[in-house]
Amino acid sequence: MRRKEFAVSLGLATAGRGRMSREALEAIEKARSEGMTFDDDAPTTGRREVTVTAKDAKPVTVRSSTALGHIGLMDDTYIRYGNDVKFAGVDSKGKKHTVGVANICRNSGYSIIGCRCDSHETLVASMEVITVTEVK
């Protein structure tokens, strides 16, 4: 239905040429605000579809090693090791320490799982920073 036809159907305009009355235009605006569309509406007044995909809803912050199971989802995060890889090293007292990939490497400031350095150094339980190597 065209706007003019709508106005005519309400008795607010007469068919044929000629400007529509303000009452007719107001009735058209009201109908449009209630969701009605007219064949001669300008294209820019058409409804825009806003699609929210599941991807948008995904959390982007990874806080714990348990979240690292979904490696495929983390597009922007570099993953070097498997989730369950362990690293071990010895402190100045000869005590052996084993850490997981979530430990922060001092060389990069990132978790070992995403650290690109050659020799990870990390804080262990004895409050020392020691060099750790992958436990094979």
Q: Which residues bind Zn ion (CB under 5 A)?
A: 105, 107, 115, 117, 120
H or E stretch covering 4: helix 3-9
Q: Taking the complex as a whole, how short is the minimal distance between the CB of residue 107 and Zn ion, in angstroms?
A: 4
What is the closest distance, in whole angstroms, from the C-beta atom of residue 45 to Zn ion in the complex?
Answer: 57
User: 18: alpha, beta or left, given left = phi > 0 and alpha = psi -120 to 50?
Assistant: left
Distance, in Å, from the CA atom of 134 to the CA atom of 88, rounded to the nearest integer, reads: 6
As measured in angstroms, the least distance from the Cβ of 89 to Zn ion is: 12
State the nearest-atom distance from the C-beta of 118 to Zn ion, in Å.
8
Parallel, antiparallel or unpaired: strands 133-134 and 86-90: antiparallel
Residue nearer to Zn ion on the CB measure, 4 or 120: 120
Q: Judged by CB, which is closer to Zn ion: 38, or 110?
A: 110
Closest CB to Zn ion among residues 117, 129: 117
- Amino acid type, 55: K
Between 76 and 118, CB nearer to Zn ion: 118
Instruction: Decide if 126 contacts 117 (C-beta within 8 A).
Output: no
